[in-house]
Amino acid sequence: MPVLLHRVPEPLISNRVHLHLLSDSTGETLEMLAKAALAQFEDADVMRHFWPMVRSRQHLERIAPELKANPGLVLFTLVNPETRDRLEEICRQLGLPAVPILDRVTEALEKALGQEAHGKPGRQHAMDQAYFKRVEAIQFTIAHDDGVGWENWEEADIVLAGVSRSSKTPTSIYLANRGYKVANIPLVVESPPPPKLFELKNPMVVGLTTAPERLVQVRRNRLLSLNEERTTDYADQEKVKAEVAFARRMFADNGWAVIDVTRRSIEETAAAVIRLYNERETRGTTQGAKPI
C-alpha cells in the first residue's frame, strides 16, 4: 500500500487549516491520532471535518463537494481498495494532500508477522471476546465506584484508593474502557475503609496521591461549582494536608504502589497504572510500594 503524500499547495500553508478526517469505521482511532499530532502545534487554527463510516464510492461522492469547498489536509483510514483509490483520485484532482495514517504501521506489521492485513473496515470494533470483556469491565467499574460493592472487590483487576478529588473515578472509567475491571474507594480519616481492602489477593491496589496545595484548589473549585461558599474542612489547608498524610501512611503500611497525580492528566495516570499492572502480571506477584 503506497503512501500518497502530495506537495502541500501554497494556499494551505498558513496558521489556519481545514482538516478532513475520513474513516470507514467509527473514526475513533483517526481522531485520537489527529488530536495527538495537533497537540504538538501551538495556536493552530484547525477546522475539523469528520466523516465516519465511509464505505462506498457513493458516500465519497457526497463528501467531495465539501473537500472542494474547504480545501485542506485529508487524513484517512480506508482499507477498501476501491474506496481508497477514489479518495486519492479526488484529492489529486483538487490538489489536496492525502495521508493514509495507518499504512506505514500496517506495512511494518505485515513484514514482521509474515502475513497480509485483512483489510476489513472497523475490524478493531468487532464484537469479539475483547469487545464483550470491555463492556463487562465498564459495567463492573460503574457499579463499584466510590466504595460501592466492596463485597465484590476480589473480582476487580485494579482497586484505586485515594482521598476525595484525587481523580479516582475518571481514571477508573478510562481504565474500564481499556478492558480493566476497576473499583475505587475514597479514603476518609473519620471513616476507615472496609477490612476487605486490606485482604485482597487478586486485584492490584494502587494509591493515588496529590500535592495538598493542588488538592485545596481543586476542592475549592468544586465547592464553587456547587454554589457552596461557607468555610468547610473539605478545603481547609491543614485538614487537607492531614488527609493526604493519612492516605500516604496507609499506602506505605500496606506496600501498595503509589502514583502522584499532581501534574498528570487522566490518560497519563491510567498509563502509569497499566504499566504497574503489566509489570505485576509479568512477575506474577505483588511488590512493595514504589511512588511514580
Annotated binding site: 162-169
- Residue ranges of the annotated binding site for ADP are 162-169
Task: Report d(CA 208, CA 273) in Å as an integer.
Answer: 10
Question: Which of 163, 138, 185, 183 minimizes the C-alpha distance to 240?
Answer: 163
Pairing of strands 72-77, 98-100: parallel
Please give the grid coordinates belonging to residue 52. Answer: 465516519
Please give the grid coordinates belonging to residue 187. Answer: 479514603
List CB contacts of 145: < 8 A, sequence separation 6 or more: 169, 172, 183, 184
Task: Report d(CA 175, CA 118) in Å as an integer.
Answer: 28
Alpha helices in the chain (DSSP H): 28-38, 57-69, 81-94, 103-113, 129-143, 168-177, 212-225, 237-254, 266-283
